[in-house]
Amino acid sequence: MAELADAAHAAAGHGAEGQTVQEYITHHLSYLTYGKFPDGHWGLAHTPEEAVSMGFMSIHVDTMGWSLFIGAAFLFFFRYIGLRATSDVPSGIQNFVESIFEFVESQVNSGFNYKNPHVGPLCLTVFVWIILMNTMDLVPVDWLPEIAMAVGGLWGLEHMSFKVVPTTDPNITMGMSISVFFLILYYSVKSKGFGGFLSELAFHPFGKWMLPFNLIIEIPTLFAKPVSLGLRLFGNMYAGELLFLLISGLLGVYQLPAHFVWAVFHLLVVPLQAFVFMMLTIVYLNAAHEPAHGDH
């Protein structure tokens, strides 16, 4: 809903800067990038072209910083509530935190059939962290970037890019999904043994005489898990942010109804994507804990 606060500013040329719609959208979809320039020195990119020239060994300072800040805030807040929890007359905020714990616990209990004390905390972290990162998409699209540009102007970066929604950065979403993927591999080998894990890839589902066909099916299926997990979250959040920007740039003074409708719908997208990521994590880890075929 807060996107509506940007309506007047984003419309009709986007203020005194005189940006075109394409320039406005490109700027808001670019990252504050730190890396190595072609001449060898390190620093912040002033333009998207400079960011591209930095190559793989660069970092998106904005999305990385916001993701770490949000994650730390989540941990400190939950620890603060946990240390002050009481069984007498719990406060409203304690009830709220406990309801989140109970919700995640119920999902883990219903979808995970093995004993592992780490799965519950992992799913709680994933669920709450993603919701908080997604919620940044409801902050007016111009507020924080304009503050960043004002501060950046002190160092000659008055036109710098600054994104505040970490989950619209594939580096963040794929980093989380690859972390889950490593856990899948670890628990698959731990529960099945290295030989059992390899035999499932080679001999399942058609038996050892169809080994090449089994590998053609199983290997892409295995690697599709982190790709689909990360890209699903990124794609939905990126599309949501892009549509907000398109509405601002294309509809002018008529954007308010469209902003309202999309903002209401986006309120459902924010928790839904976190829930989907958490549930798929539970499903994948449950499958990883299953014993090798023939060991049941």
* Total structural domains within the chain: 1
294 found inside a domain: no
Q: Which of these is catalytic: 53, 179, 232, 286? A: 232
Higher local confidence (pLDDT), 156 or 37 = 37
Domain residues for the domain of 86 are 2-289
In this prediction, residue 117 carries a pLDDT of: 94
214 is catalytic: no
From the list 53, 236, 248, 286, the catalytic residue is: 236
pLDDT at residue 160 in the model: 74
Q: Are 256 and 113 in contact (CB under 8 A)?
A: no
Which is higher by pLDDT, 6 or 47? Answer: 47
Higher pLDDT, 39 or 183: 183
Q: Which of 84, 228, 248, 286 is catalytic?
A: 228
Residue 90 buriedness (CB in 10 A; 0-12 / 13-18 / 19+):
middle
**Angle separating helix axes 211-250 and 170-203, nearest 10 degrees:** 160
Q: Is residue 98 in a domain?
A: yes
Active site residue 91: no
| pLDDT at 293 (0 to 100) | 65
Question: Is 232 among the residues known to form the active site?
Answer: yes
Question: Which two tokens mark 239?
Answer: 């599309």
**Using omega within 30 degrees of 0 as the cis cutoff, is the peptide bond preceding 205 cis?**
yes
Decide if 164 is inside a domain: yes
Say what the pLDDT of residue 168 is. Answer: 94
Across residues 269-275, what is the average pLDDT?
94
pLDDT digits (tens, 9 = 90+) for 134-175: 998 877 666 777 777 777 766 666 667 888 899 999 999 999
Q: Is residue 78 part of a domain?
A: yes
The chain-wide mean pLDDT, for the chain, equals 85
Helix (H) and strand (E) counts in the chain = 10, 3
Q: How confident is the model at residue 281 (pLDDT cuts 50, 70, 90)?
A: very high
**296 is a domain residue:** no
Name 264's Cβ contacts closer than 8 Å, sequence gap at least 6: 1
Q: Report the sign of the C-alpha dihedral through residues 5, 47, 232, 101, in that order.
A: negative
Burial environment of residue 204 by CB neighbours within 10 A (0 to 12, 13 to 18, 19 or more): middle
**Across 48-52, 108-112, 140-144, which has the greatest mean pLDDT?**
108-112
Q: Would you state the pLDDT for residue 154?
A: 63
pLDDT category of residue 85 using cuts at 50, 70 and 90: confident
